[in-house]
Amino acid sequence: MPSNQTTDNLGVFPRPELPAPPAATSPELIRLQAEITRLGQVIARLTEERDSYRRAAQAWAMAEITDADIERYGTEEPGLPLEAFVAELELSAQDPKHA
Read off the pLDDT of residues 43-77 as tens digits, 9 standing for 90 and up. 999 999 999 999 999 999 989 988 888 888 777 77
Amino acid at 38: R
H-helix or E-strand containing 14? Answer: strand 11-14
Name the pTM for this structure. 0.45
- What is the maximum span of the chain, computed from C-alpha positions, in angstroms? 83
Q: Where are the domains of the chain?
A: 23-98
